[in-house]
Amino acid sequence: MHKIIAFFKLIRWLNLLVAGGSLLLFQYFIIVPVIGIAPTLSHLQVWLLALSVMLIMAGGNVINDFLDLSQDEKYKPQNVILGKAISINFAPYLIVFLNVLGVGIGLWLAYSVGNLKLANVFLISVLLLWQYSVTLKKYALVGNAIVAGLCALVFLLPVLFEVQLVEKHIAPEAKYFILTQMKGYALFAFVITLVREIVKDLEDAEADIAYKYHTLPVWLGTRTSSIIAGVIQLILMIGIGVVMYVYWQTGLKNNFWYAMLFLQFPLLINLFPLFVARNKTDYRVQSVMLKVIMVFGVATIPVFYLFSKL
């Protein structure tokens, strides 16, 4: 039982559930209700697509922990799993298994919809996660942007696999709605993840300095980096505010108040402490808060759908 719990901690099971759940919610509460015809992917294929995403993410998490082991043992010993509950020698086999299975499922899904080019999405994702762990996370904003982009990709995948959008079998209004929602959620995921990744770099600044990383806090200092993260978050709040204005003008008051209470208000609460945070504990609180806000954002998919049925 102890090893099972350690395994789920190693792969960041909660993050995986958020990613897989986001994909499923987008498919079943945005694409399926408006598409007007039977979707390209069967229920089994949709769940396999979510599983593929989760497996590749899990593989990336194990790679990251494996390569960061010496650093984590010194600066975050309480978080170290490899070499304790799970053997270090087992890690490479686990990495290969998770990535091969994830890419294999993606390859089969691409073949099943008649577009093998889609398999490149999974292969490139694995390569990016590997390069992120080896090199790219050491450089200011580069690694942050890669992680943010891969999070945004979760909302693009169900649309990419809905080949009928390309073949024009769907009403223009439905296509416009699906693509607009995809862009909105992908942009939200990208920006809030970018902020969170900068905050995590702020939390790890001491270790990054010691290991000669070139992350934003190492390059510009924690104060300036905190301001940059705050400004990006403020831009996100302005964008959400524009959407809220549209909701209010079009009579979607329930959507407006949900966004106000569960997105804007928490973001506002998170904004000011971000400018004055000074230690690892402060940044850890900011990181957790941003993760909660991301979950609230994803939850708008089923919540807004239910509001539309009232």
- Give the 3-state secondary structure of residue 37: coil
Q: Two tokens at 247?
A: 């909701």
DSSP, collapsed to helix, strand or coil, labels residue 86 as strand
Report yes or no: 303 and 222 within 8 Å, Cβ to Cβ.
no
Nearest to 180 by CA among 9, 304, 283, 75: 304
Q: Which residues are CB-contacts of 68 (< 8 A; sequence separation ≥ 6)? A: 133
pLDDT of the chain along its 310 residues, tens only? 578 999 999 999 999 999 999 999 999 999 999 998 889 999 999 999 999 999 999 999 999 999 999 888 888 888 899 988 899 999 999 999 999 999 999 999 999 999 999 999 999 999 999 999 999 999 999 999 999 999 999 999 999 999 888 766 788 899 999 999 999 999 999 999 999 999 999 999 999 999 989 999 999 999 999 999 999 999 999 999 999 999 999 999 999 999 999 999 999 999 988 888 778 888 999 999 999 999 999 999 999 999 999 8
Predicted TM-score (pTM) of this structure: 0.96
Backbone angles phi, psi at 26, to 5 degrees: -65, -40
- State how far the alpha carbon of 211 is from the alpha carbons of 68, 138, 152, 196, 204, in Å: 11, 9, 29, 21, 11
Q: Are 135 and 215 in contact (CB under 8 A)?
A: no
Q: What is the spatial distance between Cα 216 and Cα 134, in angstroms, rounded to a whole number?
A: 17
Whether the Cβ atoms of residue 37 and residue 164 lie closer than 8 Å to each other: yes
Give dist(CA 13, CA 174) in Å, integer: 34
| Alpha helix stretches (DSSP H) within 161-221 | 172-203, 205-210, 216-220
Determine the residue type at 73. Answer: E
